[in-house]
Structure 1
Amino acid sequence: MRHAPARLRPTHDRFPPAHWPYANGRGASGVPEGVWRRRLASRWVRGGAAVLAGALPALAFPAPSLWWFAYVALVPWLLLTRSAPTLRRAAYDGWLGGTGFLLAAHHWLMPSLHVFIVLLALLLGLLWVPFGALTHRLLGARPGAGRAGAALVLLPSAWLLVELVRSWQYLGGPWALLGASQWQVAPALRLMSVGGVWLVGFLLVLVNVALTVLITLPRARTVAVAGLTACGAAAAGVWAWAPVPQETGTARIAVVQPGVIKGPEPRLERSVELTRQLAARHPDLVVWGESSVGTDLGERPQLGKRLGALSRSVGADLLVNVDARRSDMPGIYKSSVLIGPNGPTGDRYDKMRLVPFGEYIPARPLLGWATSVGKAAGEDRHRGTKQVVMRLPGALRIGPEVCFESAFPDMSRNLARHGAQVLVVQSATSTFQQSWAPDQHATLAALRAAETWRPMVHATLTGTSAVFGPRGEPVGDRMGTDTSAAQVYSVPLAEGTSPYVRTGPLTVYGALAALAVYGAVEAVRVLRRPSPHR
């Protein structure tokens, strides 16, 4: 009997019931399994479902800030991917899900990049192709407890590998790492002091995989329960036995937020006006936001003297941020510059990691057309070459970062290792004022503080400005995007070295090792497989 062509075969032949996510014959909404099967048989419906499922984790981040949702947000995506009829279709589900996640997490870039953000999401979404294929390989077709147990380790490892690769500054940087959604959860912040944001992200994916196994694989439920128990035990163990930072005093640090003001000169004048109001409040340091000074101080020595006089009147050094073409070397730089009573002290940090398209265009000869469809950089900024720890007159040591750099765990870790007592990030998100971006950016300071045991001051031009203590706890009130003010924070200082600063991202190394072992085992299995021609 001849087989019917694939396009004419009954649906159940092309999509075996064992691949579908609900073992009881009904979907989550009570719709019979066969109805779901027919709906998802369409590549367009399935593709749309993958994009939507991949977008769900974005709800765990600010502004929605449904942090608890991160523990279940990946389950629909995992269910869909494991139900794919083929490995190739699962890879597509991984790609489209990754695209949906990136679009949802970075949707606020749309006014700047327009359609280009879709192209970037499609390209970077390819990073999730191996994740989709591995999900199908380990969880598809009702696997036994062994493969389900392997999935509890390998799928979180594969997710971390994706996050590691996309964290490369030239691919957009580590914005919206899954672990970052837990910025306000004290046990998660404690975990970050041990393993960084990477450890929290690994455990979140593990929980999602375990829940998927509970839903779909009755024979492996014991393994899933064991995985969930291990997560709980890890969190409890860290909470009970991990070291904590020892507070050693406080520093009074003022943040000047001028608000939405067009033009560098009016913005400068408003910053000066707000700073004068601090004269009777005795700060140890005054921090201005990114691009708070629009002229190189070497070209305008009188401005340097004026800022020095302002420092004398307040009784504290100023940390300003110059966004200008430098007079002593070619090109435009964004630089944190320390101003003392006599003007610039000579301490300067030039931003090293620039925002793709916002501050430079990768492969400009090829992608320069992006300037015609959005607000991409008309001229590339230049990069600094090294990080700097600045020492204030009272011996307080600060580690400056500029805007986007607070997203990179390694930069804050490096500053802490080199003696910084306070991390300071100068930022400007005025382009995205009414979006999720200002709150998302501010919360990154909580992660870096918890990882390093060093408080972080997040100072912006237009909000959201915030300060977090050495355990990632909020200090004082935030200044929102509708605020134009100067505020002094009593910032707790701490001594000691966190486990994460001491050892680095061991979770990432372990994940890479697990994937390498799995790859080696699979390679040996393929080599030992008898040839079909024998």
Structure 2
Amino acid sequence: MSQVRSFFSTTLLTSRWACVFFALLFGIAGTFSFSPFHFWPAAILSLFGLLSLTLNRSIKQSALIGFCWGLGLFGSGISWVYVSIFQFGGMSAPISLFIVLLLVAYLSLYVLLFSCLLGALCPQTTWWRLTLAAPVFWQITEYLRGSIFTGFPWLQFGYTQIQGPLQGIAPILGVEGITFILMIVTGLLAYAWHQRLKIALLLALAFLFLPWPLRYLDWFTPEPKKAVQVALVQGNIDQAIKMDIHSVNDILQIYKNETLPDIDKASIIIWPESAIPDIEKNQKTFLKEMDELLRNHHASLITGILGEQKSSAAPIHDLLFNKVIVIGEKKPYEYPAMNSYEKHHLVPFGEFIPLENMLHRLIPFFNRPMSSFSSGRYEQAPLNVKGLNVITAICYEIILGQQIRDNFQPNADFLLTISNDAWFGHSIGPWQHFQMARMRALELGRPLLRVTNTGVTALIGPRGNVLAQLPQFTRQVLKATLIPTSGITPYARFGIWPLWSMALIMGGIALYCSLHTSFGLNKKGKREQ
């Protein structure tokens, strides 16, 4: 152990290129803590590397290390974006690679900011730098990453604990709270390593493993009397066909054929995002036929579709929405469906184009069909199907814990997310997306149905556990019994404010200690002169 520590203290402290190399390596290691790898200790190793490499560095050196660590994490962790741009966007390989590198570099700037804040405000290697300031600054920069330019809060390390020892923190402080505690654990480990303190190591192990029993607390109550049979239809429609307007009728027939065998068995049938790849008003005949068929068999259908309405600001232009509707209820379907949800959080360059007119002319990737959606309201009423209240999110929205929590209501029976991850092919992206969806169930204590075009389609329990799942890239129907739950988790009740309050106190203590230490050093230096 002493030889390893000696290697790090000599090689890494003296060689700038060694620092860059190891920063990249530690960043890449972080990707293996997420799905589909699920090796959660890699998250601690990755963050440990970042904190250790930035010790005793100038602000410029810390900035470089932080940026390179970010390149390693995001360059490996969101490489799946390349599949969407190259395979489905019609871009050449070099341009697709350039766009991905640009996104990776942008996300790495937030790690650079974290390293700079830590080096500027807490320059000494102290316990408060690593265990108080680091978690607070990480929380701030992660919040910024998830907010600026509509945000991209992908690869938050708290998600790695969906099966780890900190799992029980999720219903109390949410995924951000788990990330916060992971940073405290990592800071203690870095301090123990640097200062050779066993007490810091023991504290790190305590923070990591003492929360383990929290996973067995029941923040929810199962409601078996409300149990309902569900059928989740995974259409496995090729993305090239899905984007072809001439294939709409064929796609509708596929979903209808997959639904008919279970129409007498399941009370709730669910199709994925944009399963009906057309505007609702164009499919009124089909929807009325399906509505009558479903009502005759006492079943209801939840499906993704496209919505349209006139714009009051520009009457000659129609607003397009990524939408979910319910048909087959007691009241016959009438256009437009009122029992519906419109996606609020749109994906930049996927569902809306910043600087749209200019980019459409310059880059053909942005001329993709259905890339100019409008945003629905931030808070919307739950869908109501078979007397059950359903909190709904479309695709990307399920990774936004705060938005799902703000739409959550105490009378919610279960969560639903529909998606189409065919854009990302056989990459790791859909599995990361699936992992984040599981966290929403754990945070709010509600079962979650996830229905996708190509997978991962699954029934997730209120503890974030997978109860049933379909294999990817198959055309199948997942038949299961859904048992709703009731009850309010602390996270559902209070949100993220307890975490921010704790961060404010810890940040204040860290800054006070840092200023007091710096003042003492300056005063000592003057006396010696």
TM-score range, shorter chain: 0.7 to 0.9
1:369 and 1:436, CA in 2 relative to 1: closer, same or farther beyond 3 A?
farther
1:483: Cα distance to partner? Answer: 1.5
Counterpart in 2 of 1:248? 223
Which of residues 354, 374, 385 in structure 1 aligns to 2:377?
A: 385
Counterpart in 1 of 2:46? 73
Q: Which amino acid aligns with 1:157?
A: V
Counterpart in 1 of 2:277? 294
Tell me, in whole angstroms, the C-alpha distance in 1 between the residues paired with 2:284 and 2:366: 36
Counterpart in 1 of 2:159? 180
1:53 and 1:358, CA in 2 relative to 1: closer, same or farther beyond 3 A?
same
**RMSD of Structure 2 on Structure 1 (CA):** 3.1
Q: Report matched runs for 1:325-474 at 5 Å.
A: 325-326=308-309, 330-340=318-328, 342-343=332-333, 345-364=337-356, 371-372=363-364, 379-390=371-382, 392=384, 394-417=386-409, 419-474=411-466
Q: Which amino acid aligns with 1:174?
A: P
Counterpart in 2 of 1:489? 480
1:138: Cα distance to partner? Answer: 8.6
Q: Which amino acid aligns with 1:233?
A: L
1:73: Cα distance to partner? Answer: 2.6
Which of residues 163, 171, 179 in structure 1 aligns to 2:142?
A: 163
Q: Which amino acid aligns with 1:217?
A: Q
Aligned residues of 2:122 and 2:129 also touching (Cα < 8 A): no
Tell me, in whole angstroms, the C-alpha distance in 2 between the residues paired with 1:129 and 1:190: 31
Instruction: State the secondary structure of the residue aligned to 1:426.
Output: strand
Tell me, in whole angstroms, the C-alpha distance in 1 between the residues paired with 2:31 and 2:362: 26
Q: Does 1:312 align with 2:287?
A: no
Aligned residues of 1:403 and 1:428 also touching (Cα < 8 A): yes
1:92 and 1:512, CA in 2 relative to 1: closer, same or farther beyond 3 A?
farther
Tell me, in whole angstroms, the C-alpha distance in 1 between the residues paired with 2:32 and 2:449: 26
Q: Which amino acid aligns with 1:260?
A: I
Q: Report matched runs for 1:177-216 at 5 Å.
A: 177-185=156-164, 187-216=165-194
1:512: Cα distance to partner? Answer: 4.0
Aligned residues of 2:360 and 2:366 also touching (Cα < 8 A): no
1:327 and 1:288, CA in 2 relative to 1: closer, same or farther beyond 3 A?
farther
1:66 and 1:302, CA in 2 relative to 1: closer, same or farther beyond 3 A?
same
1:235 and 1:468, CA in 2 relative to 1: closer, same or farther beyond 3 A?
same
Aligned residues of 1:332 and 1:382 also touching (Cα < 8 A): yes
1:515 and 1:368, CA in 2 relative to 1: closer, same or farther beyond 3 A?
farther
Instruction: State the secondary structure of the residue aligned to 1:463.
Output: coil
1:307 and 1:314, CA in 2 relative to 1: closer, same or farther beyond 3 A?
same
1:131: Cα distance to partner? Answer: 2.4
Aligned residues of 1:213 and 1:221 also touching (Cα < 8 A): no
Counterpart in 2 of 1:276? 260
1:296: Cα distance to partner? Answer: 2.0
- With the length of structure 2 as denominator, give the TM-score of the two structures: 0.84
Gaps of 5+ in 1: 1-21
Q: Which amino acid aligns with 1:479?
A: L
Aligned residues of 1:198 and 1:508 also touching (Cα < 8 A): no
Q: Does 1:116 align with 2:116?
A: no
Tell me, in whole angstroms, the C-alpha distance in 2 between the residues paired with 1:214 and 1:527: 26
Tell me, in whole angstroms, the C-alpha distance in 2 between the residues paired with 1:68 and 1:32: 20
Identity of aligned residues (%): 21
Counterpart in 2 of 1:266? 250
Aligned residues of 2:82 and 2:100 also touching (Cα < 8 A): yes
After superposition, the C-alpha distances for 1:50-103 in whole angstroms (9 at most, x for unaligned) are 23322221111112221232232322222222253x222012211221232222
After superposition, the C-alpha distances for 1:472-491 in whole angstroms (9 at most, x for unaligned) are 22222x11222201122212
Aligned residues of 1:256 and 1:271 also touching (Cα < 8 A): yes
Tell me, in whole angstroms, the C-alpha distance in 1 between the residues paired with 2:186 and 2:283: 57
1:393 and 1:104, CA in 2 relative to 1: closer, same or farther beyond 3 A?
closer
More off after superposition, 321-330 vs 343-352: 321-330
Q: Does 1:89 align with 2:61?
A: yes
Aligned residues of 2:349 and 2:371 also touching (Cα < 8 A): no
Tell me, in whole angstroms, the C-alpha distance in 1 between the residues paired with 2:294 and 2:370: 34
